[in-house]
Structure 1
Amino acid sequence: MEIHASVKSWPEVAPRLIAVAAGRAPADLVIRGGQWVNVHSREIVPGHDIAIAEGRFAAIGPDLSYAIGPDTEVIEAHGRYMIPGLCDAHMHIESGMLIPAEFAAAVIPHGTTSMFTDPHEIANVLGLQGVRMMHDEALMQPINIFTQMPSCAPSAPGLETTGFEITPEDVAEAMGWPGIIGLGEMMNFPGVVAGDARMLAEIAATQNARKTVGGHYASPDLGRAFAAYAAGGPADDHEGTCEADAIARVRQGMRSMMRLGSAWYDVQSQITAVTEKGLDPRNFILCTDDCHSGTLVHEGHMNRVYRHAVECGAEPLVALQMCTINTATHFGLERELGSIAPGRRADLILTSNLRALPVELVVARGVAVAKDGVLLAKCPHYPWPDAARQTVHLGKRLGSADFAIAAPAGANSVTARVIGVVENQAPTKALTAELDVADGIVPADPSRDVAQIALVERHRGTGGVVNGFVSGFGYKGRMALGSTVAHDSHHMIVVGTDREMMAAAANRLGELGGGITVWKDGAEIAHVPLPIAGLMSDAPAAEVAAAASRMVAAMAECGSTLNNAYMQHSLLALVVIPELRISDLGLVDVTTFKLTDLFA
């Protein structure tokens, strides 16, 4: 397969690797006296050296002093563990609010050296052109960032309108790009189950290219529908939330991807399939899915997921396999990365504690890229054009009247359908609430934790606003929060208790060119500019994280007590995960995949 331009292929460097291993040529780098953590044999082998040449492992042995020449760099391991660089099997860079370069800069010090990314967020805003920009910047980085071609834009045809659509022809074209590793998560699982020709054409184009099809089965139904989805070709799935989900996927020949993101805590409930049921751990993989910048800066990335898996009962070597060799094998890259073995890319971590995993040195492609939490490498930026920075089109200045919900004629109260937020999980609940009518308008009722939600069209400047209700944030007083991050169509979501402030928040995002804004008592109290596609910033991660932290504090000031409430906010338009969502076309019942009325 094609590999990154900055990494020489094995055929190009094999003569040198062989010469170094045989003692006929010196290595570029030798790491001496460490404990070799071997994820192939699942063992720790003490007293070993590692020789690296041309960015790849040349040899691993008890004494490689013969590979040290006058110009060979030597690093003393001092008995520390030498483990493979960590791999994130499924994630969205855009969820970090960062461009690929700044995302890489944030995660390299945490030991992540390989990422398998699905840029379907930018695909919804900028189409194939946006995917190419993400792909190209990914290839510029000092670590391995593979791109999965987005499969579903829109994620649910007929239930939402995106800025652009991805076609089977787009997928077939992208399969020839050098950094494309497969097809991104197939979110339109009803389409696959129904045998939709368009979805099957995308899967066929991927399989014809001998690449991996990503899955996304967000349904508790493990009967005929799941059997049909598995038959449709997806090779993995990360939407499981319980042990039965993990077991079902592995039994059907899929890899179970268990995620720990900023708001998704699905490892503990599924890893018991391995720790208690004893299933083969090589078919289980760890990933993050969505991590915002605050999590990356303050808590970590795949090292955080690894530690959590160990805390949940996984043996350290098993958990390590789940975020190294298992991932590489799944994507057909076992001979390329994911382990410390001859010929593989020289990606590794030195750590003094295998359970706590302090990341003391990170080597990527044979070069030290981070030490003791400090980035040593440069992460180049792509020249993002104006077309990627001017993507918020409101069509008009919005007013409070755009956010007024008219009651049925003559009604004094209504039974409204309400989106119910579920803390730390992607699914929502379909709730109902009895709401009073005032002057023909149905207002929010903060005293009962019922806020108003609006989806504002922002791709074509239609001025359209769809209104509804949401519960679970706990907002109090007069407030509003607006965001142009609105998975997956990425229109604008505004949640609030006051219509005037909802309008102010929407207009402010138009001025910013995208991002997040929080309003309270008539004034903006926090904002996060995201000028690229309304999804990402090209500022350093620490700056974005600081702004995001102020935003999180502002949400709490407005009454929210949810863990990572913003992640919940950003998913309220995700019309492929049950039970109730909102789109530019109306309220969506995701249990039936049909539009439904606001009033029951």
Structure 2
Amino acid sequence: MVSDPHEIANVTGTAGIRYMLEASEGLPLDVLVNLPSCVPASHLSTSGAELTAADLLPFLEHPRVLGLAEFMNVPGAVGASPDAVEKLLGFRGRPIDGHAPGVRGKTLAAYVAAGPWADHESVAPDEVLEKVAAGLYVFLREGTAARNLEDLLPAVNAATAPRLAFCSDDRHPAELLGEGHVDHMLRRAVAGGVDPLLALRMATLSAAEAFGLRDRGAVAPGRWADLVALDDLEGFRVRAVWFRGRKVAEDGRPLFEAAPGADETAVRGTVRADLARLDLDVPARGGGLRVIVAHEGQLITDEEVVEPRVEEGLAVADPARDLAKLVVLERHGNGGGYGVGFVRGLGLERGAIAGSVGHDSHNLTAAGMDDLSMRTALRALAEAGGGYAAALGEEVLGLVPLPIAGLMSDAPIERVREQMDALLHVTHTHLGARSRDPFMQLAFLPLEVIPHLKLTDRGLVRDFDIVDLWA
């Protein structure tokens, strides 16, 4: 597993990286780490830490640290900003993962020349082929919010497969347990017409080569005996797993003891939001309201200008038009700023939902049809130390606590799935949500490095610029 502790680093800095390395010690699974390159993701949001090249380079001494994780600051790489150049040069010769949504032409050439090796943000086959032609490895993504795999399968053939691999990039417990991970992507690819051996190559050797791992990825002399036995090349059910030549799982059962836990002191108690100063009023100014349009199954959003619903001089949510109010509140104790906007596409009819998972700075995000419900949901998160919540008026209808950095649970994955299923149930039945998983959609609405319109604690962001809420 090649991981990026970017999320927890945005909350707790280097302490979060050390925690993830410590927590993954002693497992019959190599958890390899690419160091988070963009903490914060940009200057347009407030995170809990700021990591420079000097903060990251000492981690290269760790045997499980590979290189630099997805470099999201495309303008910094292309425009040679000092901070970007320092990081890219500091990791030259090491794997540098990329992040280039919709980047094409000369901008793509400049970005690749700056150092990134790979990209996982493609949404169309021609985008995949252009990035492969530019020398990148391309990871076909199938997560919970972003489901791009099926659209990208036409780009897979014998010539491109050596430069293609699979990735999940944010996958919830329900999908991990119900559908799977890379095994699920293998099933989808083969069902979509990809030759099974090409699909397996993408899942193993191509992925290893993309990260410069020459000691694994194939059954061959001199490579680690990290092996998976499958029932067939259609359902890809895993019969048994070997790690370093030792059988560690069979028929879905682990044959090993759990590793000891890591010290969680530095990654708890991270929600320090100032709810008292939060003002959700949006005085109507006349003219059109810039609205974020979210799409299920995609991270990319659109912008729409609408005539607001106005009550007592204030622009308010409008359930009849699927128009929810949206707020992002700084929660790291770094000023307590907030941004207020509006969003369509979550499908709420009443009440509010909120989460402390808000890529990439992970501030508190809430969307709702009335201010009281939004405040109730935010207060529930603050009291729980983070998580996901649904509220109607003063009542908290459901809560999934995520006390570790406001991002992770300390409960077993099966218990987290039960909690999440219960939360989604009340969100659908009591709040009328039509989206399959509005919480996953909500988590990406503050992600300002993905086009086109997002909201951070500093305001409405369109393509790396702050824009006015009113058009």
* Fold match by TM threshold 0.5: yes
- Indicate which of 354, 361, 384 corresponds to 2:240: 361
Aligned to 2:280: 403
Establish whether residue 489 from structure 1 lines up as the match of residue 368 from structure 2.
no
CA contact (8 A) 2:280 2:340 kept: yes
Quote how far apart the aligned CAs of 1:377 are: 2.2
* Pairing 1:563-578 to 2, within 5 Å after superposition: 563-578=436-451
Aligned to 2:190: 310
TM-score, normalised to structure 2, is 0.96
* Pairing 1:341-360 to 2, within 5 Å after superposition: 341-360=220-239
The one-letter amino acid paired with 2:279 is D
Quote how far apart the aligned CAs of 1:567 are: 1.5
CA-to-partner distance for each residue in 1:275-326, whole Å, 9 max, x for gaps? 4xx5331111111111111111111111011111111211111000101011
CA-to-partner distance for each residue in 1:496-537, whole Å, 9 max, x for gaps? 111011111111111101111111354222111000000001
CA contact (8 A) 1:306 1:320 kept: yes
The one-letter amino acid paired with 1:404 is D
Aligned to 2:100: 217
The one-letter amino acid paired with 1:538 is D
Establish whether residue 433 from structure 1 lines up as the match of residue 433 from structure 2.
no
- Indicate which of 355, 371, 376 corresponds to 2:250: 371
Quote how far apart the aligned CAs of 1:171 are: 2.3
Quote how far apart the aligned CAs of 1:383 are: 2.5
Query: Given the superposition, is the C-alpha separation of residues 428 and 131 from structure 1 closer, same or farther in structure 2, using an over 3 Å criterion?
Result: same
| Inter-partner Cα distance in structure 1 for 2:403 and 2:354 | 15
Quote how far apart the aligned CAs of 1:461 are: 6.0
CA-to-partner distance for each residue in 1:412-445, whole Å, 9 max, x for gaps? xx41111110110110111121113211211101
Q: Where do 5+ consecutive residues of structure 1 fail to align?
A: 1-114
Aligned to 1:31: none
The one-letter amino acid paired with 1:224 is K
Q: Where do 5+ consecutive residues of structure 2 fail to align?
A: none
Aligned to 2:54: 169
| Inter-partner Cα distance in structure 2 for 1:170 and 1:367 | 37
CA-to-partner distance for each residue in 1:17-66, whole Å, 9 max, x for gaps? xxxxxxxxxxxxxxxxxxxxxxxxxxxxxxxxxxxxxxxxxxxxxxxxxx
CA contact (8 A) 1:420 1:428 kept: yes
Aligned to 1:509: 381
- Indicate which of 150, 153, 156 corresponds to 1:268: 150
The one-letter amino acid paired with 2:101 is A
Aligned to 1:194: 79
| Inter-partner Cα distance in structure 1 for 2:404 and 2:398 | 19
The one-letter amino acid paired with 1:255 is Y
CA-to-partner distance for each residue in 1:229-262, whole Å, 9 max, x for gaps? 1111100000001011110111111101111111
| Inter-partner Cα distance in structure 2 for 1:269 and 1:193 | 28
CA contact (8 A) 1:403 1:503 kept: no
- Indicate which of 410, 429, 432 corresponds to 1:559: 432
Quote how far apart the aligned CAs of 1:381 are: 4.4
Aligned to 1:546: 418
Quote how far apart the aligned CAs of 1:201 are: 1.3
Establish whether residue 139 from structure 1 lines up as the match of residue 25 from structure 2.
yes
CA contact (8 A) 1:403 1:465 kept: no
Aligned to 1:480: 352
The one-letter amino acid paired with 1:456 is L
| Inter-partner Cα distance in structure 2 for 1:175 and 1:203 | 14
| Inter-partner Cα distance in structure 2 for 1:331 and 1:394 | 38
TM-score, normalised to structure 1, is 0.76
CA contact (8 A) 1:361 1:368 kept: yes
CA-to-partner distance for each residue in 1:549-600, whole Å, 9 max, x for gaps? 112222322222223332111001001000000111110012xx11001111
Aligned to 1:338: 217
Aligned to 1:27: none
CA contact (8 A) 1:187 1:216 kept: yes
The one-letter amino acid paired with 2:363 is H
- Indicate which of 266, 269, 278 corresponds to 1:390: 269
CA contact (8 A) 2:67 2:95 kept: yes
* Pairing 1:428-467 to 2, within 5 Å after superposition: 428-460=301-333, 462-467=335-340
| Inter-partner Cα distance in structure 2 for 1:461 and 1:231 | 35
CA contact (8 A) 1:403 1:502 kept: no
Aligned to 1:299: 179
Q: Determine helix, strand or coil for the equivalent of 1:270.
A: helix
Query: Given the superposition, is the C-alpha separation of residues 350 and 531 from structure 1 closer, same or farther in structure 2, using an over 3 Å criterion?
Result: same
Quote how far apart the aligned CAs of 1:395 are: 3.1
Q: Determine helix, strand or coil for the equivalent of 1:175.
A: helix
CA contact (8 A) 1:457 1:491 kept: yes
- Which structure has the bigger radius of gyration? 1
Establish whether residue 236 from structure 1 lines up as the match of residue 148 from structure 2.
no
Establish whether residue 582 from structure 1 lines up as the match of residue 455 from structure 2.
yes
Q: Determine helix, strand or coil for the equivalent of 2:267.
A: helix
Establish whether residue 179 from structure 1 lines up as the match of residue 64 from structure 2.
yes
Aligned to 1:96: none
Q: Which runs of 4+ in 1 moved over 6 A?
A: none
| Inter-partner Cα distance in structure 1 for 2:135 and 2:320 | 49
CA contact (8 A) 1:416 1:433 kept: yes
Aligned to 2:169: 289
CA contact (8 A) 2:11 2:361 kept: yes
> How many residues are aligned here?
470
Establish whether residue 122 from structure 1 lines up as the match of residue 8 from structure 2.
yes
The one-letter amino acid paired with 1:594 is D
| Inter-partner Cα distance in structure 1 for 2:397 and 2:229 | 43
CA contact (8 A) 1:397 1:507 kept: no
Aligned to 1:596: 467
Establish whether residue 423 from structure 1 lines up as the match of residue 293 from structure 2.
no
Aligned to 1:22: none
Give identity over the alignment, percent: 36
| Inter-partner Cα distance in structure 1 for 2:171 and 2:335 | 32
CA contact (8 A) 2:354 2:377 kept: yes
Q: Determine helix, strand or coil for the equivalent of 2:152.
A: coil
The one-letter amino acid paired with 1:539 is A
| Inter-partner Cα distance in structure 1 for 2:260 and 2:123 | 36
Over aligned residue pairs, what C-alpha RMSD do you find? 1.5
| Inter-partner Cα distance in structure 2 for 1:442 and 1:378 | 56
CA contact (8 A) 1:246 1:256 kept: yes
Q: Determine helix, strand or coil for the equivalent of 2:87.
A: helix
Q: Determine helix, strand or coil for the equivalent of 2:219.
A: coil
